[in-house]
Amino acid sequence: MLNGHQTWIFQNKPVIISTGTVGGPFEANGAIPKAFDILHDDMWLNKDSFEKAQQTMMEEACQIAIKKSTIEKEQVKFFISGDLINQITPTTLAARSMSIPYFGLFSACATSMESLALSAAIINAHGADYILSGVSSHNAATEKQFRYPTEYGGQKPPTAQWTVTGAGCALVAKDGDGPVVTSATIGKVVDMGMNDPFNMGGAMAPAAVDTIETHLKERNIDHTYYDLIITGDLAHIGREVSLDLLHKKGIDIPEEKYVDSGLTIYREDQPVLAGASGPACSAIVAYGHFLEKLKQGELKRILVVATGSLQSPLSVNQGDTIPGIAHAVSIEVGSDIQ
């Protein structure tokens, strides 16, 4: 299964048999509203905290994925998921309510593909028949933890990003109908010495480049193998930085085939500064938008490279630099899957 030092090849072809995606009112007015199964018109979701609202969205995404499949909840072996909040409590409380054996993860916004990679690896090794792989985020909960409550009205620089309110979940199975998870490259922590928490795109870009370069090398392919390479949430700043770094390494991906989730989910006229972020960003764009294009035959092969900036409020306040991480998962359809 291991191909090189960082890449898994999944010979047993784990399948994404269904997905569930949930969003909030800001996402409903975004660029891809049809990518959502549920869109809420209130960020509170009738709960008394934003964290509880986030928990509810995670539960909904999982319930939708199961409902859209042919299985019962009791057949799901594991729930593998995470979020940004302290101790990943929204995800843990969702796991409590669902009563499914649970792996809790944290790779910041890269958790979406970390969870999918681990789900595929377990299924490929015959460790489970069905696994729920998901993530969630909430704009107001994240602002409260990492910056200030939105009521504070703090001014942000143009390099800042807008955390997506939503949840995305994939139901991964040993067999069935759907796109196949063919490989995954597990990223290394890359830290280029940046310490500005309002420029996460710049901090994450080197990690994305490192993972993409490693993935192509260890799979012995070039970028033309994929119809699209979809980064997690580099947004405008990180995307430009990563394209420049890739070019310096001789990897000249055409701009139209290098797509960023943080530039996909919202409209250009929405006030999101550099673009979107949050674990739910890449999950919703991948599971709700691009997987549908795979199913419809518009695409055959995509590489989703979720990126995360691994700072905490404490590390930032202590002046530490911001480590970045990126995990890549290839998803394919068609009769010619290797």
Domains and CATH numbers, the chain: 2-173 (3.40.47.40), 180-332 (3.40.47.40)
What pLDDT score was predicted for residue 150? 73
Cβ atoms within 10 Å of 71's Cβ, excluding its own: 17
Q: Which pLDDT value is given to residue 134? A: 97
Q: Is the pLDDT of residue 238 over 90?
A: yes
Structure tokens at 301: 């092969």
Residues making up the chain, counted from first to last: 338
Q: How confident is the model at residue 335 (pLDDT cuts 50, 70, 90)?
A: low
- Per DSSP, helices labelled H in the chain are 25-28, 50-67, 89-98, 111-124, 139-146, 200-219, 235-248, 279-284, 291-295, 313-317
Q: CA dist 274 to 153, 239, 266, Å?
A: 18, 10, 11
pLDDT of residue 336: 67
Q: What is the pLDDT of residue 316?
A: 85
Tokens read off for 230:
């979809």
- pLDDT at residue 62, rounded to an integer: 98
Distance of alpha carbon 39 from alpha carbon 109, whole angstroms: 21
Cα–Cα distance measured from residue 308 to residue 316, given in angstroms and rounded to the nearest whole number: 15
Average pLDDT of the residues in 2-20: 94
Please state the pTM of the whole predicted model.
Answer: 0.96
Upper half-sphere CA count for residue 1 (Cβ side, 13 Å): 18
pLDDT band at 334 (very low <50, low <70, confident <90, very high): confident
Question: Tell me, what's the pLDDT at 151?
Answer: 74
Give residues with Cβ within 8 angstroms of 238, minimum separation 6.
200, 201, 202, 203, 204, 205, 208, 231, 260, 262, 274, 307
> Is pLDDT at 73 greater than 90 in this prediction?
yes
pLDDT for the residue 338: 63
- Lowest average pLDDT, out of 36-50, 171-185, 218-232, 308-322, goes to 308-322
Dihedral of the alpha carbons of 155, 157, 158, 159, in degrees to the nearest 10: -130
Cα–Cα dist 114/206, whole Å: 18
The answer to whether the beta carbons of residues 26 and 269 sit under 8 Å apart is no
Neighbours of 336 (CB within 10 A): 8
CB 329 within 8 A of CB 303: yes
With bands split at pLDDT 50, 70 and 90, how would you rate the model's confidence at 2? confident
The pLDDT score that the predictor gives to residue 3 is 80
